[in-house]
């Protein structure tokens, strides 16, 4: 996708400093406008593949009260009359740029991003391991900006990290807050924890997505800590730089915002090695088993061997592990269905749990099993979807369990509970998220749901021995 920029020069502008002390103006900081490198204010036009053209205003020329990223008291820009025009056309193909940077280091990518966009780009900092982005920006020696979304429901440890990071790097993080009226209406109408019942999307839209949209309307580019290995279902193909497919930038419209992902190709372990080597301050929750950190009610620690995103919105399906900030990662097929393989509608997804000792139950089969009040054998059944990465991760241990229990008086079975069977499984089989494991004891009509996230052979065997 090509982004065309027409630039015309203008005369110098008068700049009033922010309310911060002058020492804060040595380098760009959130909370001060940091336009020391902008003596000349220019106007420009931005178009996407020649389809759209709109006026590009210097930062803060538009109404701050409506959508701007920087506080209104930070600075004011008085643009003087343009005395001459210089027609320069710069065409940037960000797909080609992404290819050229595919093997570049995060430091190189960060440097390129800051060089290209200067004061019109900012780092999105969540209080998790993406603090590495701030360290990379610091290492470039260039001025940089940082913002964060304060949802009002973050962990105390996250707030303490914000303060530590500001002091460590000598910066001011700009915090974006949700609209108080919208939050009040949600809580009054549906309670403090409605997301456990009807999904996290509504709450995230109010507390995160809309504040982010306001923040990005004051920028031309932003920097995120997305990595391909964070979420196999939604982030496996993210490029290091792209035209943002969802949000709009300063000039509005499709193609007005560029998104940089400097650590897209870096594995989580390598990020942590970097943080330790550079002695970067990190969230103390990481030491307690939290890997991916969000709001307190929707984040929990993960167990060894679990994927990091299992700690986020754990009561929902794997396909819902995005809050909306990066919903452009969710692709649509030709029929308009998001992530067909993730929804279980793709016939190309290979089935899992292939041991000859695993019984494959049909809808009729599991209904018959539920009706039996005096079973001759206990059953352990996994409700699964073959596209689910968490089901795939436990395939080896479940097959091993089936082979171990062969001839022991316990039947091991699987029931594919996605697609047309999902509503039935939710209603009748206690399905919350994939995988769900049920034990049908002898002489009992009610199945018992396995409550643990530990799905190794020893843990499953121990549970069976307690309840069968």
Place of tokens 């054998």: 377
3-state secondary structure (DSSP) of residue 86: coil
User: Residues 419, 344: contact at Cβ < 8 Å?
Assistant: yes
pLDDT the model gives residue 231: 58
Indicate the pLDDT class of residue 114, thresholds 50, 70 and 90: very high
For the chain, first and last CA: distance in Å? 58
Indicate the pLDDT class of residue 461, thresholds 50, 70 and 90: very high
Place of tokens 């497919």: 245
Q: Give the active site residue among 203, 295, 323, 391.
A: 391
User: Residues 173, 315: contact at Cβ < 8 Å?
Assistant: no
pLDDT the model gives residue 307: 65
Which residue has better confidence, 317 or 51?
A: 317
**pLDDT tens figures, 232-259:** 555 567 899 999 988 999 988 888 999 9
Closest CA to 408 of 437, 436, 378: 378
**pLDDT tens figures, 377-415:** 899 999 999 988 788 888 989 999 999 998 888 999 999
User: Residues 281, 168: contact at Cβ < 8 Å?
Assistant: yes
- DSSP category for residue 299: B
3-state secondary structure (DSSP) of residue 295: strand
3-state secondary structure (DSSP) of residue 270: helix
- DSSP category for residue 12: B
Q: Give the active site residue among 203, 204, 323, 388.
A: 388
Report the alpha-carbon distance of residue 419 to residue 430 in Å, rounded: 16
pLDDT the model gives residue 363: 92
pLDDT at 425 over 70: yes
Peptide bond into 435 cis (omega under 30): yes
**pLDDT tens figures, 173-201:** 999 999 999 999 999 998 998 888 777 78
Name all domains of the chain by residue range, CATH numbers in brackets: 94-328 (3.40.50.620), 359-467 (3.40.30.10)
Indicate the pLDDT class of residue 336, thresholds 50, 70 and 90: very low
Indicate the pLDDT class of residue 154, thresholds 50, 70 and 90: very high
pLDDT the model gives residue 232: 56
* 388 counts as catalytic: yes
3-state secondary structure (DSSP) of residue 419: helix
Average model confidence (pLDDT) for the chain? 76
Closest CA to 52 of 4, 88, 94, 120: 4
pLDDT the model gives residue 432: 87
Indicate the pLDDT class of residue 445, thresholds 50, 70 and 90: low
User: Residues 168, 195: contact at Cβ < 8 Å?
Assistant: no
| Whole-number Cα distances in Å, 146 to 15, 219, 344, 371 | 22, 12, 39, 58
User: Residues 394, 460: contact at Cβ < 8 Å?
Assistant: no
pLDDT at 164 over 70: yes
- DSSP category for residue 142: S
Report the alpha-carbon distance of residue 398 to residue 407 in Å, rounded: 16
């Amino acid at each position: 996708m090509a982004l065309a920029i027409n630039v015309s020069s203008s005369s110098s502008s008068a700049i009033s400093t922010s309310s911060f002390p002058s020492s804060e103006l040595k380098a760009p900081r959130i909370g001060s406008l940091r336009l020391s490198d902008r003596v000349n204010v220019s106007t420009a036009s931005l178009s996407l593949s020649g389809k759209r053209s709109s006026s590009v205003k210097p930062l803060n020329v538009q109404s701050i009260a409506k959508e701007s990223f920087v506080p209104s008291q930070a600075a004011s820009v008085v643009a003087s009359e343009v005395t001459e025009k210089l027609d320069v056309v710069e065409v940037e193909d960000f797909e080609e740029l992404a290819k050229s940077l595919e093997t570049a280091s995060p430091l190189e990518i960060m440097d390129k991003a800051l060089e290209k966009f200067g004061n019109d780009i900012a780092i999105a900092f969540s209080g998790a391991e993406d603090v590495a982005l701030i360290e990379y920006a610091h290492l470039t020696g260039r001025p940089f900006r940082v913002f964060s979304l304060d949802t009002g429901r973050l962990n105390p440890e996250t707030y303490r990290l914000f303060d530590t990071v500001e002091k460590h790097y000598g910066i001011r993080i700009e915090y974006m807050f949700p609209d108080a009226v919208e939050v009040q209406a949600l809580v009054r109408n549906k309670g403090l924890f409605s997301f456990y019942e009807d999904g996290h999307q509504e709450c995230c839209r109010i507390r995160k997505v809309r504040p982010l949209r306001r923040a990005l309307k004051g920028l031309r580019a932003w920097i995120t800590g997305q990595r391909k290995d964070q979420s196999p279902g939604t982030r496996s193909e993210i490029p290091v730089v792209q035209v943002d497919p969802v949000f709009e930038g300063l000039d509005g419209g499709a193609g007005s915002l560029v998104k940089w992902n400097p650590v897209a190709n870096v594995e989580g372990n390598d990020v942590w090695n970097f943080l330790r080597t550079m002695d970067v301050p990190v969230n103390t929750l990481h030491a307690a088993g939290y890997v991916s950190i969000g709001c307190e009610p929707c984040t929990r620690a993960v167990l060894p061997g679990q994927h990091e995103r299992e700690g986020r919105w754990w009561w929902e399906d794997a396909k819902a592990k995005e809050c909306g900030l990066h919903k452009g990662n969710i692709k649509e097929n030709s029929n308009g269905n998001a992530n067909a393989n993730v929804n279980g509608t793709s016939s190309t997804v290979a089935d899992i749990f292939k041991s000859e000792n695993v019984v494959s139950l049909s809808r009729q089969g599991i209904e018959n099993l539920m009706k039996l009040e005096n079973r001759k054998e206990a059953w352990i059944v996994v409700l699964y979807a073959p596209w689910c990465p968490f089901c795939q991760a436990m395939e080896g241990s479940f097959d091993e369990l089936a082979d171990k229990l062969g001839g022991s008086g316990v039947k091991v079975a699987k029931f594919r509970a996605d697609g047309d069977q999902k509503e039935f499984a939710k209603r009748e089989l206690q399905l919350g998220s994939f995988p769900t494991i049920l034990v049908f004891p002898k002489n009992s009509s009610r199945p018992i749901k396995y409550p643990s996230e530990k799905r190794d052979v020893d843990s499953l065997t121990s549970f069976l021995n307690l309840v069968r």
